[in-house]
Amino acid sequence: MRRYSLHLLLFLALVLASACDKKSTNISEPQSDKPKAPVEVEVTNPKAGTPEDVVRRVLIAGLDPNEATGFAKYLKLVHTSFRDTPNGIKMRRTFEWPRLRKQAIHYVKSKSDPSFIITRRGISQNSLRLFVKWRNGKGLPKPIVLQKDPKDGNRWRVIATSL
């Protein structure tokens, strides 16, 4: 009998503990397991010097029909801590630049209208992460990380991009 009581007490303790872990719900409010959709902001003509302006200029550089001119434009938008070293420039040209050249058209409305959509923002101690929407709906929003560059007039510059 004693063994049966101990098992019953353990079972009840487990049931009560699991019930306490569940969040309380209000029956009058409909519940949804789906996360709320992020707020999308279309950027058409951003103010000069803003992070959105840098993203727009990065996309325009990626769309430039002349590869060398486009890369030069892009490199001016990269943080000096990455563009002032031969390895930093090589990394950008080898990895980020080819992807940006190939995919920039998917983030803008058209080649003649480089407006784009930001789906969310992430802010850390000294950097800003903007997520840019893939226009045709097939790709996930991709981040571009920006940081103010004290060696470049404290302007927003690209640290990393997955565009």
pTM (predicted TM-score): 0.76
Domains of the chain: 41-161 (3.10.450)
Q: What is the DSSP string of 1-53?
A: -HHHHHHHHHHHHHHHHHHHHSPP--TTSPP--SPPPPPPEEESSPPTTSHHH
The pLDDT tens digits along the chain (163 residues) read: 555 554 544 444 444 444 444 443 333 344 444 445 568 999 999 999 999 999 999 999 999 999 999 999 999 999 999 988 889 899 999 999 999 999 999 999 999 999 999 999 999 889 999 999 998 777 889 999 999 999 999 999 999 999 9
